[in-house]
Structure 1
């Protein structure tokens, strides 16, 4: 069926925005090969909904008959893997303007339910994915197992850590940023094509498609729902987002918009993430609300933060982003923010709801998920220096977070992070010094999936400079695994033996326990 570009564009927007459209508008373009080569995924779970994701990809991205054709994709959600007990099914229009990605937010589902899903198009059937809805916010939950991960540079090694994670069978995965690395591929790297740094939409799309071609990552996406945030490499190294208008020293608005769109196209997030709707994303510039709160029954509240889009510019102290804290007044400037004032206010409101005044409804644990280390981090570089790109460069933001946790007497605060490419377990103290004042929260940062640690610094050097750190492992790749009950949580620092193996061996470098009501961690074993 031949229709004008303007006609299908208007109808596609109407379909994608839920405004309806003429039935039978799209011809099913012929497909010469399976388009589900990037697998399936689910995410953004709640007690009554979940997002199902896939993307249709041609075997030859430069020549295929359905390049500019919206495609009707059928989806199915069932109680069993054989799809004999369907819960819901429907149709979704995959738009060429969104790289034929599919985001189906299925609502009206029962709480705490394991489900199976798949997609169909032009006679092809996708792999089957497994997902689940979460318990209702008022439901008591006996236990939760979840993993957390970050920093998966495709060119640096196999994503074998996900194969190990699969065996751990988490209920949920929290991804803390650096899903791709915008720098592309360099000569001499372990795998992947050589490419220039991403600057345009197709560049970013190719990097996501490359990452999602890894079978271990596909299997992990299909195994459980993901909660995702971003860090810098989804756009470019150490960028400060700020408003999406104007030209900043951190790069063009067009580049940020392209990166944001590609992230949305490849993440299992709700269409509601795009502020202004899909029309704003397609006609731009658009902002994405990545920060959110996710309750898991009465057991845990996940606070997912965006430390990129709203931050002030990095301080210009020191050398190459490394500064001496005592010599940089700007890092302590209370007017500067890592989260932006609106997100900070949102976070404080959420923490207030976890105070004793809300004892009848608050969760046992409050898990603050953000990309890096919140506690201070000194490095033995040119003396003793901190990174301006992290919370050390926004010390007033950190103090406002600490004050909120203390003032509201937040139940069971725990901080998760990534970014630093090492396992790190530390106590966040009230301050002003790294070990001064009471312990406010334990902090656990996971090693990278593949990305190498920075420089030749040893874990012993890190711990000598940072007495609040209880554990550091810089030379191993891996992820974090958390087993949580109302009374306690246990964190395992999982490590693989070789990032260059598709099927690595896995072990636990260290394990810690935190009891409810006592933020001091205890090492196990």
Structure 2
């Protein structure tokens, strides 16, 4: 059975206008706590004074919310009046008022407090806004002096023992938004989907330098330092469509490789940089990632940020947010600096090959085994389905390079009777596949690959790869040419998936069309086309 997602009040056009108007008006913790605990104030608390040097709006990067629980949600912004040149806020910590309201008029403020934007974390703010009602929409904003941020809309999850009041959960999933590859024409349409939640599956930024063939240029050479990563995030977050999509509903964000460097694996860099040198780069990249997302995690400590986490949506769904980069073994069967594609060498099936690392793998196996929700959704970076190209060639950067661990996960899902849905990014293509623990084993789940916001699949290989994988029995659908995103709608009885493609990313605006529609029935593994 299908139900429509909850009405969210504003049309996309009105919402974008409100964001632009608000912008025109115008992590953190200390080094020992997870997120900034709000300083209790009355909802009518005074707005902190702005530094005398602040003469333009510091809310140039917009607002965002994420990782909702039944009674709280993480609220984010970063003060940056000069976003592309370090932020421009100086070396002092600065207090900011945050407010959560029942309506966008803010006539009824239900929670408020002061948060400290610390210079050591790029003047970013992570507020755990607590005391909220379950399964409820809210608006939020930040204020300092005469400046007010854009208004964001967010929501809480249902209570642990409850089903959503609407009867369904509507989730968008997206990934891979290379600035240079094109405009973010998908996001206005993502807003029109009236989503409860967005899962972003990695490659939020790209680390590379300026390209001669770019649709729009990066703001400098390949990034390596904290200052460089901050400026690169600021460039990406300057996009109005991306800001509006963040402000429309809460996001749950994980990373892939380009938030640091292409194809890296733990402390192993793509080009075999010295470990100490590469770990310094990872530490910078991980801090910049934390500074720019509303994630419910501890701030990083050097080259370590424990990003995997689980979020429940009442009795309907559990979301397992995976980190497939930080703890993984180096890619099998390939040398540093060489392509990760090749013929199997045997190492890809070794039990020592891990995508997740021991702790994260055991956390995931235990979570799937003990799950009591109807659906288990894995927010995953790289393709989990078996995907030999031309019958033999494997991409060892995907789960094909970590076969023993993949088998453990899928065996656990089968043993638990899990209704397993895996959503994936990374490959700049759309796809649907059945998941099997062994090559000819029973189907235990469905995987949906949601294209890319702007990044592109190498078109010189698209036809060959499409023809090759299209002939695999487990691959149900593949489109290696379109950009866009996916939408899931979960109900008690089924999971619907729409794969949406935009007509262009070469121009600032585009139309959108449904490429493919699928349904998974609870209790029946695998996807069925509609």
Quickly name the TM-score band, shorter chain normalised. Answer: 0.7 to 0.9
Aligned residue for 2:343? 324
Shift of 1:324: 1.4
Q: 2 CA distance for matches of 1:64 and 1:499?
A: 28
Quick check: 1:29–1:66 contact (8 Å CA) kept in 2? no
Aligned residue for 1:353? 370
Shift of 1:387: 1.1
Report matched runs for 1:398-417 at 5 Å: 398-410=406-418, 412-417=419-424
Write the deviation string for residues 290-336 of structure 1: whole angstroms up to 9, x where unpaired: 111111011111111111111111113486211213xx111111122
Is 2:385 the counterpart of 1:375? yes
Q: Partner of 2:180: helix, strand, or coil?
A: helix
Quick check: 2:429–2:450 contact (8 Å CA) kept in 1? yes
Quick check: 2:176–2:452 contact (8 Å CA) kept in 1? yes
TM-score, with normalisation over the residues of structure 1? 0.88
Q: 2 CA distance for matches of 1:395 and 1:91?
A: 48
Q: Partner of 2:402: helix, strand, or coil?
A: helix
The runs of at least 4 consecutive aligned structure 1 residues that moved more than 4 Å come to 11-20, 24-27, 60-65, 246-251
Q: 1 CA distance for matches of 2:218 and 2:81?
A: 19
Which piece of structure 1 moves more, 454-463 or 252-261? 454-463
Is 2:264 the counterpart of 1:239? yes
Q: 1:207 to 1:369 in 2, by over 3 A?
A: same
Report matched runs for 1:60-79 at 5 Å: 66-79=89-102
Write the deviation string for residues 195-221 of structure 1: whole angstroms up to 9, x where unpaired: 211111111111110110110000000
Q: 1 CA distance for matches of 2:435 and 2:346?
A: 22
Task: Choose which of 128, 143, 149 in structure 1 pairs with 2:174.
Answer: 149
Q: 1:12 to 1:138 in 2, by over 3 A?
A: closer
Aligned residue for 1:366? 376
Superposed CA RMSD: 2.6
Q: 1:471 to 1:250 in 2, by over 3 A?
A: farther
Task: Choose which of 494, 498, 505 in structure 1 pairs with 2:500.
Answer: 494
Q: Partner of 1:154: helix, strand, or coil?
A: coil
Q: 1:130 to 1:194 in 2, by over 3 A?
A: closer
Q: 1:502 to 1:299 in 2, by over 3 A?
A: same
Is 2:116 the counterpart of 1:93? yes
Q: 1:14 to 1:509 in 2, by over 3 A?
A: closer
Q: 1 CA distance for matches of 2:310 and 2:98?
A: 27
Shift of 1:466: 2.5
Is 2:64 the counterpart of 1:47? no
Aligned length: 488
Quick check: 1:493–1:511 contact (8 Å CA) kept in 2? yes
Q: 2 CA distance for matches of 1:460 and 1:199?
A: 35
Aligned residue for 1:300? 317
Shift of 1:12: 5.8
Aligned residue for 1:467? 473
Aligned residue for 1:6? none
Is 2:396 the counterpart of 1:396? no
Q: 1:386 to 1:249 in 2, by over 3 A?
A: farther
Q: 2 CA distance for matches of 1:385 and 1:129?
A: 46
Q: Partner of 2:421: helix, strand, or coil?
A: strand
Aligned residue for 2:358? 341
Shift of 1:48: 0.9
Aligned residue for 2:17? none
Is 2:227 the counterpart of 1:210? no
Shift of 1:97: 1.4
TM-score, with normalisation over the residues of structure 2? 0.87
Q: 2 CA distance for matches of 1:321 and 1:64?
A: 37
Shift of 1:144: 0.8
Aligned residue for 1:260? 286
Write the deviation string for residues 439-492 of structure 1: whole angstroms up to 9, x where unpaired: 010110110000010342226414345321000001000000111111011100
Q: Partner of 1:347: helix, strand, or coil?
A: helix
Where structure 1 has 5 or more consecutive residues not aligned to the other structure, the ranges are 1-10, 355-361
Shift of 1:26: 9.1
Where structure 2 has 5 or more consecutive residues not aligned to the other structure, the ranges are 1-28, 40-46
Q: 2 CA distance for matches of 1:69 and 1:26?
A: 14
Q: 2 CA distance for matches of 1:248 and 1:333?
A: 26
Q: 2 CA distance for matches of 1:251 and 1:465?
A: 44
